Amino acid sequence: MTGRTPPFAPFEWMIAWRYLRARRAEGGVSVMTLISLIGITLAVFALIATLAVRSGFRAEFVDTILGANAHVTVFNAARLTETGQLTRVIEDYDDMAARLAAVPGVTRVAPLIKGQVMASREGRTAGVEVFGISHENLLTIPRIANPEAARGDIMRFDEGIAIGSGVARELNVAVGDRIRLISPEGVQTAFGTSPRINAYEVVYIFTAGRYDIDRTRVYMPFAEAQLYFNRDGVADEMEVMVANPERLDQLTTALLRAGGERAMIWTWRDASGSFLRALEIEDNVMFIILSILVLIAAMNIISGLIMLVKNKGRDIGILRTMGLTEGAVMRVFFICGASTGLVGTALGVVLGVLFVAYIDPIFAFVNFVMGGGVWDPSIRGIYALPAELHLYDVMRAVALSLGLSFVVTIFPARRAARMNPVEALRYE
């Protein structure tokens, strides 16, 4: 009794390898195989590079949000004063800070004074947002205390103000210069309210890594901000930092309870949630579009295999008459197509990883070739094109490419297996 050979036996690999090798008389087959290989390589590379850039962009965007802004802002609901004016100020801010700090998961609570003013120096003006905060609390803000770049001495914060690099550039200010801050809500006089104008020394210039922060942010000592904005003995809001910002929803009830009956909260997700949701939708759409690109590249394998089957019809007939089963012939041509997908996927992964590793010089080269201005931070918010490679994204790309390559290979392989050996040899 004749024993059967196991699937994917060595001779099947040998025959498939001989068919894949280039021959002068069958150059078309080799060309189609090469085109399929290049197509899959570029498609997988594009998919991995896009996923890495999108992941890096989201990570950098979220990091700049969480590194320079409150994870949760706690403020009071508006109430009427004795004079009939609406106010949201927090009178017992020290007590509220203590209650909020006692909530499990909260790492820091800082009373804030906030206001929008005009900054001016030597004929230059810029609209800025002033944050009144204590020195010790300022040192706990990661993107301010440990920024991408900084000038001056943050330890001298109580002697002046700290400004973003965009504000400094707009006003042409260096460390040690003095700028004037002009607030329309200034001193109350018999003739009405006159603007308050104070001059402050710039002791620290930071680059937080986020364009809108660097372009508008000014930090002022808390006590000085109370005087400047007529907030004697009160705070405008509480800046709360938590240990796990991604799971902030678990703390909202506790924070509201600790804040008091008038407390309201505004989280970082409320401020940037729509943008993050747009990024997520864009990620899904880009993955679908690039998946179609991978499918188109994989379809080239069908063209190459159909040509291979046509050119190898005589060989198939001989192999069948020698005793090769339909399954063995199918596996031979499946190996031919799958090998193209496997090698193309591997090359695409290598190119994608290299792209992520060398994205900075690649981007610098593209920027140089295009004459600069390729990346506008005023539109995109951050200063450079980031990329962050995740194993999950790589495995998704690999699984998609190999899955499509294997599936599209089955159809021409089955056609070869079902070829009638008599018909294949009739005209030979």
User: Has residue 109 got a pLDDT over 90?
Assistant: yes
Identify residue 121 by its one-letter amino acid code.
Answer: R
- Give me the mean pLDDT over the 97-112 stretch: 93
- Tens digits of per-residue pLDDT, 196-211? 889 999 999 999 888 8
Q: What is the pLDDT of residue 186?
A: 63
Q: What is the pLDDT of residue 2?
A: 46
Q: What is the mean pLDDT of the chain?
A: 83
Q: Which residue has the higher pLDDT, 26 or 296?
A: 296
Q: Which residue has the higher pLDDT, 22 or 92?
A: 92
Q: 3-class SS at 426? A: coil
Select from 237, 225, 153 the least CA-distant residue to 196: 225
pTM: 0.73
Dihedrals phi, psi of 371, to nearest 5 degrees: 80, 20
User: Has residue 296 got a pLDDT over 90?
Assistant: no
Q: What is the pLDDT of residue 86?
A: 76
Dihedrals phi, psi of 339, to nearest 5 degrees: -65, -40
Q: How confident is the model at residue 28 (pLDDT cuts 50, 70, 90)?
A: very low
Contacts of 5 (CB under 8 A, 6+ apart): 11, 328
User: Has residue 97 got a pLDDT over 70?
Assistant: yes
- Tens digits of per-residue pLDDT, 151-174? 999 999 999 999 999 999 999 999
* End-to-end C-alpha distance for the chain, whole angstroms: 33
- How far apart (Å, rounded) are the C-alpha atoms in residues 164 and 137? 17
- Give me the mean pLDDT over the 271-282 stretch: 80
- Give me the mean pLDDT over the 333-352 stretch: 88
Q: What is the pLDDT of residue 117?
A: 93
Q: How confident is the model at residue 404 (pLDDT cuts 50, 70, 90)?
A: confident
- Give me the mean pLDDT over the 322-336 stretch: 75
Is the Cα dihedral 251, 252, 257, 258 positive or negative?
Answer: positive
- Give me the mean pLDDT over the 178-196 stretch: 73
Q: What is the pLDDT of residue 187?
A: 61
- Give me the mean pLDDT over the 281-300 stretch: 84
- Give me the mean pLDDT over the 368-380 stretch: 67
User: Has residue 22 got a pLDDT over 60?
Assistant: no
- How far apart (Å, rounded) are the C-alpha atoms in residues 91 and 19? 83
Q: What is the pLDDT of residue 95?
A: 92
- Give me the mean pLDDT over the 107-132 stretch: 92
User: Has residue 272 got a pLDDT over 60?
Assistant: yes
- C-alpha pair distances (Å), 168 with each of 138, 178, 218, 355, 379: 19, 11, 10, 35, 19
Q: What is the pLDDT of residue 315?
A: 66
- Give me the mean pLDDT over the 68-80 stretch: 87
Q: Which residue has the higher pLDDT, 218 or 212?
A: 218
- Give me the mean pLDDT over the 46-53 stretch: 90
Helices (H), 69-162: 93-101, 135-138, 142-145
Residue with tokens 């018999």, as numbered in its chain: 190
- Per-residue DSSP letters for 170-217? HHT--TT-EEEEEEEEEEEETTEEEEEEEEEEEEEEEE-SBHHHHHHE
Out of 10-24, 178-192, 274-288, 388-402, least confident range: 10-24
- C-alpha pair distances (Å), 214 with each of 143, 206, 207: 11, 7, 6
Select from 411, 409, 413 the least CA-distant residue to 401: 409
